[in-house]
Amino acid sequence: MINQTDHAPSTEGPDRAELLELTRDLVSIPSHDDETCVGEFIERWLEGHTDARVARDDAGNVIARRTLCEADGTGTDPTSLALVGHHDVVPPDDSQVIDDGGESNDSDDVHSEYVLTERDGRLHGRGTADMKGALAAAMCAFQDAISRGGSEQDDRNAAADPGAENSFSIEELVFASFVGEEQGGVGARHAIDRGFAPDYAIVGEGSTGYSASDVTDIAVAHKGRRASTITASGESAHASEPSAGSNAIYRACEAVEAVREIDAPTVEIAGEKIAGSVVVTEIEGGSGWNVIPDVCTLTIDERTVPGERAPLGRVEGIDGVSWAVEQNLPPMRCGCEKFAETTLVAATGTQESDPELVTKPHATDAGWLAEAGTACVICGPAEPGEAHTENESVSIDVLERCYRIYRASAEAMH
C-alpha cells in the first residue's frame, strides 16, 4: 500500500462556479449527431487556459500535452499520465431538447439546443453524467496540475518523508477527449492507431455508488462485449416435401443448443467475481409458411472478461453453420497495482467514506487503451443506471470531488 501521508491530495481547486460553468457549456453543446462544435469548444478552452500543446485530429479527438520535466536524453517517449474522456453523447430525450417552435437558434449560442437545469444539488441534462461533467472536472484538473508544476509537489512529499521516492516520475501530463465512444470507441481506436499510447490513464466514466451510496470508487476492471452472428445455411424446398431440402432453422436450433451449453469464463479481480455471459438475442429465418428455409441467422451477445473468451467457434462444427464477429469491445484490467493504489489514495483523501477498488459491468474506451498497453483505472461521477436516461443528472458535489481526485493523482505521480 502507498503511504497516504506521502500523497495527501491538494484541497485547492477552481472556483465552484468556474467548474459548473464549464460543465454547463459542455453539456449544452449538442454532440449526439456531430461532435465538431463541442470539440472546437474544448480545443479553444484548453488553448486559452493552459500552455499545453493542443491538437484536434482529423477524427475530431482533442488531445493536449504538457511536458512536466526535461527529457532524460534517451530519445524514448516521456512517461505519461492521461486524463481521458469523450465528448459524444447518445441522442437526447425530447424533454432534454429546447423546443424553439421550429425556428433556428443562433449557432453561436452554445445553450441553444440542449436543456440544462440545476436542482437538488444536481445538474440535469443529456451528457451530464455520461460524461461531460467528468470531462469538465478533468479539464480543470489538467489546467491546475500543469500550472502548479512539479517543484512544489516534490517539496511537499520530501517534507512528509525525506526518504520517500516517487514510484512513477511522470514526465508528461496528457488530456484526451475522444469522439465516437458511444459508437464502439471510434475516436480512441483512431488515436491509438496513430500512436496515442500513454503509460497510465484515468478514464472519467462512472465509478460513484459502486461500493456504497455517494462513494466515488476506483474501477480497475470492466467487462467487454463481443457481438457476433451465427449463420445456418440449408437448401430450400416446398414444405410439402421437406426431405427435398435442408432446413436451415433446424441447423440454427442445433447451434442454439451448442451456445446454451457454453460456460462463459469467470475471473476474480479486486475481490469480485466477474462472470462473462453468452446469450442468443435474435433469430431470423424463413420466407414463407410453405417454404423450407435455406438460411437462418442468430445474433449473439457475449459479455467478455479479461483473459479467455467463450469458445463460440465450436458451432462451426455443425454442418452448414458459420460464425462471424461483428463487434469486439475489449474488457479492461488495470495492469499496474501501484497506479491503482495511488488513485485510490487520492480518492480516499477527497471524501469521508472509504472508497474501494471495484469492477464495472460496462465496456469503455479504457478497454481499447488497456489492449494497447496503457495501465488504466476508471474514476468518474456517474452512478449506476444514470447514463442514457431521460432523467440523466450528476451530483455537483461529486463533480468537485472528481476534480480533486484527478488533480491529486496527477500531483502524486509527478
Domains of the chain: 16-223+331-412 (3.40.630.10), 224-329 (3.30.70.360)
Between 338 and 109, the more confident residue is 338
Cα–Cα dist 386/203, whole Å: 17
DSSP 129: I
Please name the amino acid found at residue 115. V
Residue 11 has what pLDDT? 46
Percent of the chain with pLDDT over 90: 80
Q: Would you state the torsion angle of the CA atoms of residues 135, 141, 147, 148, taken in this order, to the nearest 10 degrees?
A: -170
Residue 225 has what pLDDT? 96
Total Cβ atoms within 10 A of residue 37: 15
The answer to whether the beta carbons of residues 377 and 343 sit under 8 Å apart is: yes
Q: What kind and span of H or E run contains 88?
A: none
E runs forming strands in 234-271: 237-238, 266-269
Cα–Cα dist 181/167, whole Å: 32
pTM exceeds cut of 0.85: yes
The answer to whether the beta carbons of residues 133 and 116 sit under 8 Å apart is: no
The answer to whether the beta carbons of residues 342 and 244 sit under 8 Å apart is: no
3 pLDDT exceeds 50? no
166 pLDDT exceeds 60? no
Between 82 and 167, the more confident residue is 82
Between 128 and 2, the more confident residue is 128
Cα–Cα dist 39/31, whole Å: 9
Cα–Cα dist 332/342, whole Å: 18
87 pLDDT exceeds 70? yes
The answer to whether the beta carbons of residues 23 and 131 sit under 8 Å apart is: no
Task: Give the rounded distance of the alpha carbon of 184 from its chain centre.
Answer: 10
Lowest mean pLDDT among 95-104, 277-286, 290-299, 394-403: 95-104
- The SS3 assignment for 201 reads strand
Residue 148 has what pLDDT? 67
Beta bridge partners of 317: none
CA R_g for the chain:
24
The answer to whether the beta carbons of residues 142 and 50 sit under 8 Å apart is: yes
> In the structure grid, which three cell numbers stand for residue 309, read together?
473468451
Q: How confident is the model at residue 20 (pLDDT cuts 50, 70, 90)?
A: very high
HSE, side-chain direction, 13 A CA sphere, residue 172 = 23
Listed residue (24, 14, 13, 17) closest to 132, CA to CA: 24
> CA angle, corner 353, sides to 402 and 212, nearest 5?
85
257 pLDDT exceeds 50? yes
Residue 71 has what pLDDT? 58
Residue 162 has what pLDDT? 35
Cα–Cα dist 250/254, whole Å: 7
The answer to whether the beta carbons of residues 402 and 139 sit under 8 Å apart is: no
> In the structure grid, which three cell numbers stand for residue 325, read together?
464477429
Q: How confident is the model at residue 137 (pLDDT cuts 50, 70, 90)?
A: very high
Residue 168 has what pLDDT? 76
DSSP 243: G
Cα–Cα dist 52/66, whole Å: 5
Residue 111 has what pLDDT? 40
Cα–Cα dist 285/298, whole Å: 9
Q: How confident is the model at residue 106 (pLDDT cuts 50, 70, 90)?
A: very low
Listed residue (339, 345, 246) closest to 296, CA to CA: 246
Residue 94 has what pLDDT? 87
Q: How confident is the model at residue 25 (pLDDT cuts 50, 70, 90)?
A: very high
Residue 10 has what pLDDT? 41
The rounded mean pLDDT for the chain is 89
Q: What are 302-330's pLDDT values in tens digits?
A: 999 999 999 999 999 999 999 999 999 99
